[in-house]
Structure 1
Amino acid sequence: MRRKQTAAFLAIIMLSSVLFLSQTRPQSPVGTVNPEEATGGAPVAVDTDEDQIPDVHESAFSSAIGIPTIEEEFIVIGLDPLDSTDNLSDYDRDGATALQEFCWPYSLEACFSTRLSLTGKSPEETDSGFREYLDPRKSDTDGDGLPDGYEISMCTDGGAGYIDQASTAWVCLYFDPLDPRDAIEDPDQCIGLLDWGCGDGYDFDRDGVLEPGERFTSSEEYRYTQPSGWLDERDGLWCHGPIPGITVGACQTTVETETGIPGWLGSDPRYPDSDSYAIVEGVPTPLAVPGDGISDGWEYHYGLSPRNASDSIVDTDLDGWDSNRDGFLTPDNSIATSMWGEALSNYEEFQVSEDDGYSVRPGLYLGSSERPHEASFLTETSVPSISDSAIVSTQVSELLGTLVITSRNSVTILDPISQTTQAFQQPVPGTITDSILLTLSDDSNALVLSSNFGIGAFPLTEDGLNLDSSFFLEFDPILSVNPTSASMGPGALLLLGNQGGAHTTRINSDQGRLTIESPTAVEALEQILSSRNATGTVSLHLDRPGDTPLLLVGTDSGLIRWITNDLSETFGSPLWVYTEENAENFVGIADLLNSSKSSVVNVLEPAGILTS
């Protein structure tokens, strides 16, 4: 009985060692079994066939798998611990050999030289909680629609990854063959930059959000023009080989690229405009610089080819206009001269969609922290609705529990609980340019609106804006209304206007009726603005515990700082932090072709106290 228990216990131990795939770097066979002659060290990983893949790994992936198809089940064989040649096999036709898949995320060189840990993805990085490896029997181990070898190629040779200097393992920003999230990613590089993540999908409903259905995902790009019913393990990678880094024979053999040059047959998921050839005198000709001026996702959505640059100047739907009535529509010859032709080419239609960068429909997203993915889009016709979708700003009245939505020509007050709104059309003369919600000396709320005709103040009550107790002061055009330090008292404001104008004023409340003090010029600020012919856009007056308040003023030409508690020069004069000449030493690049745009400040937000 005891012998049976011992045998069962040993069987469990042996089975566990196979399941958990304990491994070290593969070694040569054992030199001696004599304990007195052994040199010591850790247990070796047995590699019977000496193909550099441990037996325990080959055993784990030894069973053949069947893939159901319409015709019959397709069988992919597994590895054999006694076959010394299957390390170079690519049974799943994913473009990576069995040895490469065992070594991932290490290169073959690092796998047997500098590697300090196990291969595969560690349990801490996986959803399963177990160490995961690329499966040499499955073309797409993580199930994201991208074959393993394709993802390895994009990560290592395609620029989407880097080698971690500490571990010598590859780290993939995108195209990780063991990360299923790539199925929904649209990671194309940003135009003119080295950053990833801009994508080449298109906001077709113009709501300002690129929903998953509007993305042109990497898997869609890889499989572009691929016939239906394609099975990678049977039919091969969607490419015209040979391709460097991809195993010989992995690419399909029935289709060639349009130019006859080996390469991938889909569009390129790394670049947002990846057209690779054009038709020149009837012959597909490779492009020295890829692209046709239209994003791949837009072309794909409208049935154009994201590979063929020539279709950009074609008027596919024949909606041009014979302006000279000669019975012939003059075609476009290039995207540079597209406006000269009478045809309304695809490129011109794309430019109409872009609308000079103003393609997003105006409106307001309203959501909750409990259901952040169920936000509703408010417009003039939605329920609830806003009176004017050209939003200027929004403020929350914590006193009343309402949201104040200021638009160019109206104010909408939304009760988020009852989902009802109140609309106040044209509360001030002219076009509203900015707004701010103040708490006055009597603890009441007042909404301050600036316009191109002056400034107005309105008591905010449970009934909305109290128009009867409001006040409007006619003044020069005001661009922004900004709060000041608490040291200046309740209701104090800094007004920024055209041509470097800067004034202070105060909103007062007398038994519920509001008044506005006559604005006073802030000469020190106006002088420094005029020194660079700058216009103030926004300001932030920060109270600093134990120190004098700091005023930051954003402009269209840089950023100004001023240590002042009351907008006087008691503690010094205002200074430029950066200007058009050196803005990119402080902030990110806004436009590669126009460095002056980097100096424009639109928003200032307090970030808290920085600690070392």
Structure 2
Amino acid sequence: MRRKQTAAFLAIIMLSSVLFLSQTRPQSPVGTVNPEEATGGAPVAVDTDEDQIPDVHESAFSSAIGIPTIEEEFIVIGLDPLDSTDNLSDYDRDGATALQEFCWPYSLEACFSTRLSLTGKSPEETDSGFREYLDPRKSDTDGDGLPDGYEISMCTDGGAGYIDQASTAWVCLYFDPLDPRDAIEDPDQCIGLLDWGCGDGYDFDRDGVLEPGERFTSSEEYRYTQPSGWLDERDGLWCHGPIPGITVGACQTTVETETGIPGWLGSDPRYPDSDSYAIVEGVPTPLAVPGDGISDGWEYHYGLSPRNASDSIVDTDLDGWDSNRDGFLTPDNSIATSMWGEALSNYEEFQVSEDDGYSVRPGLYLGSSERPHEASFLTETSVPSISDSAIVSTQVSELLGTLVITSRNSVTILDPISQTTQAFQQPVPGTITDSILLTLSDDSNALVLSSNFGIGAFPLTEDGLNLDSSFFLEFDPILSVNPTSASMGPGALLLLGNQGGAHTTRINSDQGRLTIESPTAVEALEQILSSRNATGTVSLHLDRPGDTPLLLVGTDSGLIRWITNDLSETFGSPLWVYTEENAENFVGIADLLNSSKSSVVNVLEPAGILTSNGEIGQ
């Protein structure tokens, strides 16, 4: 009986203790309960599912988001504070797990060992003024065109960042997944240096500065060859996996690299010349050292591949020089021996464009005799501007005091006094090949333009080109338009075309309206040109006091002389002054490895003693 009473008494005591504890708050040892003496401290983060991501963070990114597409809205689900496995998820397919995105800018190791502050980017570093985190539902949190996992990989494994020793957080020089400025950056490393920021864009206006529109940005390089309509969250990263540091399954699965080796499918935004493979006996083969001698941005601008090194020695536009006239263009075998082949390979064209690092600048320098060292450079964006910087020729109208600038696709007329210009776009069909300013029988000026579709003539007035009174004659492609001797009368021209073509014509003016006579073949000149399969490039018809005019015709195979006043054989037939075989006996050596280039004539200028009226006296 006493044992039963004792047991009942102990039960009452235990029940009373439980009731007392249930009515008290959880407690932990504290140094003081005085608020003024307390040292303070952050509240303990609650992680209900124990996945190392606090509930408050998972709750903030728990709502699913919808991304509109052409077909239907694509849904990306969020995190769940009660799901212990979603820390390893990569719902947005950006290559980083939800736990990595929570910890950034700390590595997973530092996040739970040496980290001394909150994760994410502090309010002092953000434009919003709030702490910002990587969003596990958005592949590209900062909207710079680069997925979060890709930027983390470039920063941590790609050499674009370093670990701050004080905070143990990653600091990204470029490729910061929480910095939208990467959208316009072109940070490629400088060639031969470890510095970043030289870029690999194409300075197409040749002003020495890679402006935003000329850069080959990191996002453009990452997405190079990516199909249109691509959605990272749905389609995956633009890579062929697996890639170390990138979550399994994040890479797309429909396209492989050319060599079959896992890697990124775009060009490499870290290096200015990042070609990764070459075609060897028809098989894409990885390169031990990347690059083909041409910057990625230049290749991208001209439609070449910044991934394939083999296209550097290809003559894509077939503009080489058949120096031995065997009907074939000997290809280049390597960039080291590219000068030996007859083809003008892409690498050689790039070298011409770069001009040993000084860069060839299309446009027009304009100066004055009063200030010869203060020349201005005219382009499409300068003030004053020209309509097309691919200059063909320039002529001065003494009658109007204007400068006529002929480009491949337009004509610009510059008034040097007012510093204003007039632009006339596409005045003739096709591409303009040459131009000349004539004084006609009525003392008016006419601008003559040749193209690959014929020849056009335009009255030049104070208001510019008079298009209403112009005339265009459709004809074979014309390469060069040249004046003739004064003995042939005003408006007479010698036209030189492809495959040894040579014709005469005349520009006539009838009450201000222009006409062009049908071209007539100059048979004697065509015969001597065809004898060496030559093409005329330029001519100069010299009036000589007391003697018969002398016609000099420059070609791609030598120089022709012909004593004639009217392009007839009255005083004899045309003769070769020099050809490919003996050109270097008359002119300087143009190329040590290719003597035939010395025979090419591009410009002819009169020389000798001038008389009082400006004519050649001797």
Superposition TM-score tier, normalisation by shorter sequence: 0.5 to 0.7
Counterpart mapping for 1:179-258 below 5 A: 179-258=179-258
Q: Distance in 2 between matches of 1:542 and 1:171?
A: 72
1:361 Cα deviation after fit = 3.4
**Corresponding residue pairs, total:** 612
Change (3 A) 1:599 1:242: farther
Distance 1:604 1:70, change over 3 A: same
Distance 1:2 1:68 in 2: 79
Describe the superposition over 1:249-282 as per-residue Cα deviations: whole angstroms up to 9, x where unpaired: 0001111111111000000000000000000011
- Stretch deviating more after TM superposition (573-582 or 347-356): 573-582
- Report the alpha carbon displacement of residue 124 of structure 1 after superposing the two structures with TM: 0.8
1:386 positional shift: 14
Stretch moving more, 146-155 or 403-412: 403-412
SS of 1:336's partner is coil
| Distance (Å, rounded) in 2 between the aligned partners of 1:199 and 1:592 | 35
Deviates most, 462-471 or 195-204: 462-471
CA offsets 1:567-602 (integer angstroms, 9 cap, x no match): 999999999999999999999999999999999999
CA-CA distance at 1:207 after TM superposition: 2.2
- Show structure 2 runs of 5+ residues with no match: 613-618
Q: Give the CA deviation at 1:526.
A: 63
1:37/1:406 Cα in 2 relative to 1: closer, same or farther (>3 Å)? same
1:116 matches 2:116: yes
Flag the 1:126–1:282 CA change in 2: closer, same or farther, 3 A.
same
Q: Which has the larger radius of gyration?
A: 2
Q: Is the 8 A contact 1:18 1:59 kept in 2?
A: no
On the 8 A contact 2:340/2:593 being kept in 1, the answer is no
Q: 1:392 to 1:140 in 2, by over 3 A?
A: same
CA contact (8 A) 1:23 1:45 kept: no
Distance 1:17 1:65 in 2: 50
Structure 1 residues not aligned, in runs of 5+: none
1:53, distance to aligned residue in structure 2 (A): 0.4
Instruction: Tell me how far 1:248 sits from its aligned partner.
Output: 0.5
CA contact (8 A) 2:205 2:362 kept: no
Task: Provide closer, same or farther for how the CA distance between residues 237 and 21 of structure 1 changes in structure 2, counting only shifts above 3 A.
Answer: farther
Greater shift, 269-278 or 473-482, is seen at 473-482
8 A contact 1:494–1:502 mirrored in 2: yes
Match of 1:470 in 2: 470
The 3-state SS of whatever aligns with 1:339 is helix
Once residues 552 and 163 of structure 1 are traced to their aligned partners in structure 2, the CA distance between those partners, rounded to angstroms, is 72
Answer yes or no: is the 8 Å Cα contact 1:208–1:361 preserved in 2.
no
Q: Which moved more, 1:405-414 or 1:354-363?
A: 405-414
Q: Which moved more, 1:174-183 or 1:408-417?
A: 408-417
Q: Determine if contact 1:188/1:200 at 8 Å carries over to the other structure.
A: yes
Q: Which runs of 4+ in 1 moved over 3 A?
A: 1-42, 360-612
Q: Using the TM superposition, name which of 237-246 and 554-563 deviates more.
A: 554-563
Cα deviation, residue 358, structure 1: 2.5
Cα separation, partners in 2 of 1:550 and 1:313, compared to 1, 3 Å = closer
- Listed one character per residue, the Cα deviations across residues 64-114 of structure 1 (whole Å, up to 9, x for unaligned) are 000011111000000000000000000000000000000000000111111
- RMSD of aligned residue pairs (Cα, Å): 19.9
Deviation digits for residues 530-574 of structure 1, max 9, x if unmatched? 999999999999999999999999999999999999999999999
CA distance in 2: counterparts of 1:104 and 1:369, whole angstroms:
63
- Mapped contact 1:21–1:57 kept (Cα < 8 A): no
Measured after TM superposition, the shift of residue 134 of structure 1 is: 0.2
Residue-by-residue CA offset, 1:496-529 (whole Å, 9 max, x unaligned): 9999999999999999999999999999999999
2:312 aligned residue: 312
> Relative to 1, partners in 2 of residues 1:210 and 1:29: Cα closer, same or farther, differing over 3 Å?
farther
Task: Measure, in 1, the Cα distance between the counterparts of 2:13 and 2:527.
Answer: 83
Q: Quick one: structure 1 residues 94 and 357, their matched pair in 2 at CA, closer, same or farther if it must change by over 3 Å?
A: same
Range with bigger deviation, 591-600 or 140-149 = 591-600
What is the alpha-carbon distance in structure 2 between the residues aligned to residue 212 and residue 153 of structure 1? 25
Quote the offset at 1:350 in angstroms.
0.6
Cα gap change, 1:168/1:493 in structure 2, threshold over 3 Å: closer, same or farther?
Answer: farther
Distance 2:476 2:130 in 1: 68
Q: Could you tell me how far apart the structure 1 residues matched to 2:285 and 2:362 are?
A: 42
Cα pair distance change 1:436/1:288, threshold 3 Å: same
Contact 1:237 1:252 in 2 (8 A): yes
Summarize the alignment of residues 87-486 of structure 1 with structure 2, pairs less than 5 Å apart. Answer: 87-361=87-361, 383=383
**Shift in Å at residue 319 of structure 1?**
1.1
Is the 8 Å Cα contact of residues 476 and 497 (structure 1) preserved in structure 2? yes
- Aligned residue for 1:348, secondary structure, equals helix
Give the match's secondary structure for 1:514: strand
What secondary structure does 2:468 align onto? helix
Label 1:503 to 1:207 Cα distance change in 2 as closer, same or farther (>3 A). farther
Q: CA deviation at 1:115?
A: 0.7
Label 1:61 to 1:572 Cα distance change in 2 as closer, same or farther (>3 A): farther
Deviations 1:9-30 (A, max 9, x none): 9999999999999999999999
Identity rate, percent: 100
Partner of 2:588: 588
Flag the 1:423–1:297 CA change in 2: closer, same or farther, 3 A: closer
TM-score after normalising by structure 2: 0.56
Distance 1:341 1:22, change over 3 A: farther
Q: Once the 2 structures are TM-superposed, how far is the Cα of residue 357 of structure 1 from its aligned partner?
A: 2.1
Q: CA deviation at 1:210?
A: 1.5
Per mean C-alpha deviation after superposition, the further-off stretch among 68-77 and 570-579 is 570-579
The alpha-carbon distance between structure 1 residues 55 and 324, as it changes in their structure 2 partners (threshold 3 A), is same
